[in-house]
Amino acid sequence: MMRVGARTIGRMSGNREYIMITAGRPATLDDVARAAGVSRSTASRVIAGTGFASPVARERVRTAADRLGYVPNTAARALVRGGGVRLLVAVAGTSPAVLDDSYVDQVVSAAARVCAPHGLGVTVQWLPLDAPGLLTRLTADRAVAGLVLVNTTSALLDLVPLRLRGRAVSIGIGSATVPSVDIDNAGGTGSLVRHLYAGGRRRIAMVTGPRWLACADRSVQAYRRLLGDAGLPTREVVGDFSAARGRAAAREVLRRWPDTDAIVGISDATALGVISQLRADSVRVPDDVAVTGFDDIPLASATALTTASHPVRRIATAAATMVLEQRPKPDRTLFPSAPVLRESA
Amino acid sequence: MMRVGARTIGRMSGNREYIMITAGRPATLDDVARAAGVSRSTASRVIAGTGFASPVARERVRTAADRLGYVPNTAARALVRGGGVRLLVAVAGTSPAVLDDSYVDQVVSAAARVCAPHGLGVTVQWLPLDAPGLLTRLTADRAVAGLVLVNTTSALLDLVPLRLRGRAVSIGIGSATVPSVDIDNAGGTGSLVRHLYAGGRRRIAMVTGPRWLACADRSVQAYRRLLGDAGLPTREVVGDFSAARGRAAAREVLRRWPDTDAIVGISDATALGVISQLRADSVRVPDDVAVTGFDDIPLASATALTTASHPVRRIATAAATMVLEQRPKPDRTLFPSAPVLRESA
DNA sequence: GATTGTGCTGGTAGCGCTTCCAGGTGTGTG
DNA sequence: CACACACCTGGAAGCGCTACCAGCACAATC
């Protein structure tokens, strides 16, 4: 057996000594139990804080654990408790490039932060829309303690295994069995469209997102509803959230409806693409055509883009927290999206 | 015992059926072994691809595993192999706010992506500079399979436990025992200073980063060396990477050295802060004062900021890969930083 | 004095997996 | 024909932990 060495190297805040294992392996519960002169069961009860333990035993175990710098092995604990050891963030999309996105970065990072105190790790995976078996495969690993789905479809949601019911949350669309957390796309887009209308715009076009994406669809629905209520015709061009498609879409809008006086972008990137194309065509923004985005990315404030807020970090934190705490949750949690009025509209 | 149900729901690419566990728990190795009519040992050998197995056994195990949708429990595997189950990204800094940073987001996200195929999760933790015991505590959990340190100090590096030697990489400063991956700060800053000099600037100031941060220091050293070589005096103000400090620093620079004709920012955020302050003071950029940043964030291209590239994702991917593959690695890997010349300098 | 509790304890059986080892076969060599 | 030497197999021991359970002491009740 290896030696378990320990040496005091300083003091923590609160004036309790902390320990560094200087040699050998980290201490195990067995080491602690032996050092405290109790059984492993008792030590476990004290450390985990479950079940009975006499004050004397408690004290001795605590001291021994401190002295040895004992930290429970979360993997072993998860194994026996059947709890799993990591949270899976699955991002649906047509190509693995969906992961190269600051949106995904924020979701993953926020999730990792929430998971840290629980000893859970986070993993990201691209989920191709046409290979539904992958989700099943990925979640078959019992090490997966929870699931956060991003940009998912309802077909994908139905494949979430029973084992993960109550431990899965979707950022975006939800289902009967999988609750969802999302930004209020309809509200955000709606307030922007109303703002355009109030500013006198009547020929309002929209560059939408991919059709399969439900959250994009909700923005489009809001746009249609408002224009319909006002008795205005809709003008839609399909985009894909990218600036490049935004440029192309702007060209198409002007070709098909040259008198357009406002363009609603499904995202800030789309809107920025639209603006750059308009500028290239010597169309003045917002004088000739007003443009709005969605997300309020840092670039938006720098470019004075009128947009709607999208607190990604808070949403992701909420999603991860729901998964970890498994608290009784409403089917759908919507975060408000506030209009951010700047110069482009 | 629970039933292990399986139902065919489709076909994977390659025309092999895939399976969905419709009820009960995910299949275990025992289930597979029983279904294949071999012992657990044999099944394990086939699945893990280690040791002997007859073609017949191999085939039967593979089939059974496929049929049951078996996926190894990475947590259990890690436990017995002693390998750990997650990678820890520890970000040093003076406050937990260091985690609210797109830089950290990118590092975490990239790490999570690299870890996914290995069945490892990722966790982020803030590492206070004044509580070194925390690193020891965090790494005492055997579930921690590897360590990526960000913005660390050499004092912190010395606390990396022996167990993690060879499984720890620092993004930034390195040490004798912990290799490092980093951007070539000196090269990037150097090329910008040379560019300023070539443009006729002779009174070049710099807004630096926090003193304790080694990577920031290397930029400053390069700045000093180049100015020294040219026989020019240095003009330094301490910043902290933020735009707010950038603004304040710009004021200070102009107060102390009113004839300054160029300001080198330690980061793009710093530079943007500097520029906004200069504009507020009716100082023309770049006519009166040229300004450079560092990082080439998306905002930089939108604001025409001259800067130096910083491929964070690639660096983080490299770091995580080094940890996972434990390959013999050089002490220090430097990624080149290319100057990105735009309008601000 | 027999009975019921209450508080606490350690033994033991696993969680799902790998790995070592003793013990098989079957084929090639002396 | 004995022997070695592949190749292959299943049993069993454990990774570090929790959880169940029988059992202990001691006090309180009838």
Cis omega (within 30 of 0) for bond into A286 = yes
**Per-residue DSSP letters for A25-73?**
SPP-HHHHHHHHTS-HHHHHHHHHT-S---HHHHHHHHHHHHHHT----
Give the tens place of pLDDT for each residue, B186-206. 999 999 999 999 999 999 999
Domains B7-72 and B82-178 share a fold: no
Give me the residues paired with residue B204 across strands.
Answer: B262
Per-residue model confidence as pLDDT tens digits over A98-150: 999 999 999 999 999 999 999 999 999 999 998 888 999 999 999 999 999 99
More confident residue, B3 or A153: A153
Of the candidates B204, B208, B188, B187, the residue with the CA atom closest to the CA atom of residue B196: B204
Taking CB atoms and an 8 Å limit, are B18 and A136 in contact across chains?
Answer: yes
Q: What gap in Å lies between CA A102 and CA A33, rounded to an integer?
A: 47
**A338 pLDDT higher than 60:** yes
Residue A178, Ramachandran bin (φ over 0: left; ψ between -120 and 50: alpha; else beta) = beta
Q: How deeply is A276 buried, as exposed, middle or buried, from its count of CB atoms within 10 A (0-12, 13-18, 19+)?
A: middle
Task: Express each pLDDT in A48-101 by its tens digit.
Answer: 998 889 999 999 999 999 999 999 999 999 999 988 999 999 999 999 999 999
Q: How many residues does chain B have?
A: 345
The C-alpha atoms of residue B103 and residue B106 are separated, in whole angstroms, by 5
Rounded to the nearest 5 percent, the helix, strand and coil shares of chain B are 45, 20, 35
Residue A211 scores a pLDDT above 90: no
Q: B149: phi > 0 → left, psi -120 to 50 → alpha, else beta; which?
A: beta
What band does A19 get if pLDDT is binned at 50, 70 and 90?
very low
The mean pLDDT value of chain B amounts to 90
Class of domain B82-178: alpha beta
pLDDT tier at B12, thresholds 50, 70, 90? very low
Strand C within 7 A of B45 CB: yes
Chain C positions with an atom below 7 A of a protein C-beta are: 7-12, 14-20
Using an 8 Å CB-CB cutoff, list chain B residues near A70.
140
Query: Residue B2 pLDDT more than 50?
Result: no
pLDDT (average), residues B72-94: 94
What's the whole-number average pLDDT of chain A?
90
B25 reaches A (C-beta below 8 A): yes
Q: Calculate the angstrom distance between C1' of C12 and CA of A216.
A: 57
Residue A24 has a pLDDT of 66
Using the structure, give the distance in angstroms from the CA atom of B78 to the C1' atom of D24, rounded to a whole number: 39
* Whether A112 and B116 lie within 8 Å, measured CB to CB: no
Q: How many CB pairs under 8 A join A and B?
A: 203
Q: What is the Cα–Cα distance from A14 to A322, expressed in whole angstroms?
A: 32
- pLDDT band of residue B10 (cuts 50, 70, 90) is very low
B75 and A78 within 8 Å at the Cβ level: the answer is yes
A313 CB within 8 Å of a chain B CB: yes
Question: What pLDDT is attached to residue B328?
Answer: 65
Nearest to B147 by CA among B335, B326, B312, B310: B326
Q: Fill in the amino acid letter for A10.
A: G
Question: What's the average model confidence in pLDDT over A161-183?
Answer: 93
Measuring CA to CA, how many Å separate A39 from each of A4, A42, A66, B124?
19, 5, 17, 34
Using a CB-CB distance cutoff of 8 angstroms, which residues of chain B are in contact with residue A298? 297-299
Distances (CA, A) of B69 to A155, B12, B31: 20, 12, 11
Residue, of B33 and B330, whose pLDDT is higher: B33
Between A106, A116, A140, which is nearest B69 by CB?
A: A140
Task: Classify residue A197 as exposed, middle or buried by CB count within 10 Å of its CB (0-12, 13-18, 19+).
Answer: middle
Nearest to A218 by CA among A253, A188, A175, A178: A188
Kindly identify which residue of chain A lies nearest to residue B110, measuring between CA atoms. Answer: A105
As a whole number, mean pLDDT of residues A188-211 equals 96
Q: Which CATH architecture has domain B185-311?
A: 3-Layer(aba) Sandwich (3.40)
Is the pLDDT at A20 greater than 60? The verdict is no
Q: How far is B226 from chain A (nearest CA, A)?
A: 33
Nearest to A185 by CA among A101, A93, A309: A309
Per-residue tokens: B188: 């990037």
Closest residue in A to B25 (Cα) is A163
pLDDT digits (tens, 9 = 90+) for B258-293: 999 999 999 999 999 999 999 999 999 999 999 999
Contacts of B80 (CB under 8 A, 6+ apart): none
Quote the percentage of chain B above a pLDDT of 90: 81
Q: Report DSSP letters for A183-240, one per residue.
A: E-HHHHHHHHHHHHHHTT--SEEEEE--TT-HHHHHHHHHHHHHHHHTTPPPEEEE--
Expressed in angstroms, the distance from the first to the final Cα of chain B is 72
Report the phi/psi class of residue B279: left, alpha or beta, with left for phi > 0 and alpha for psi in -120 to 50: alpha
CATH of A185-310, one of 2.40.128.280, 3.40.50.2300, 1.20.1050.140, 3.40.50.10540: 3.40.50.2300
Percent of chain A with pLDDT over 70: 93
What are the tokens at A40? Answer: 């492993």
Domain coordinates of chain A in residue numbers?
A: 7-72, 82-178, 185-310
Query: Any idea which fold A7-72 has?
Result: 434 Repressor (Amino-terminal Domain) (1.10.260)
- Is B124 within 8 Å of A108 when comparing Cβ atoms? no
State which residue of chain B sits closest to A106, comparing Cα positions: B105
Q: Is A86 within 8 Å of B86 when comparing Cβ atoms?
A: yes
Residue B124 forms contact with A (CB below 8 Å):
yes
Look at residue A215 and tell me whether its pLDDT is greater than 90. Answer: no
How is B206-225 classified by DSSP, letter by letter?
EEE--TT-HHHHHHHHHHHH
In the chain, the amino acid numbered B149 is: L
Helix (H, G, I), strand (E, B) or coil at B95: coil
Tokens 């392996």 sit on residue:
A25
Q: How far is the CA of A59 from the C1' of C10 (A)?
A: 18
Q: What pLDDT, in 10s, does the model give residues B205-224? A: 999 998 888 888 899 999 99
Residues of A in contact with B100 (CB under 8 A): 313
Q: How far is the C-alpha of B127 from the C-alpha of B91, rounded, in Å? A: 6
The string of pLDDT tens digits covering residues A284-314 is 999 999 999 999 998 898 889 999 999 999 9
pLDDT at B183: 96
What is the per-residue pLDDT for A328? 64
State percent of chain A over pLDDT 90: 81
Confidence of residue A203 (pLDDT cuts 50, 70, 90): very high
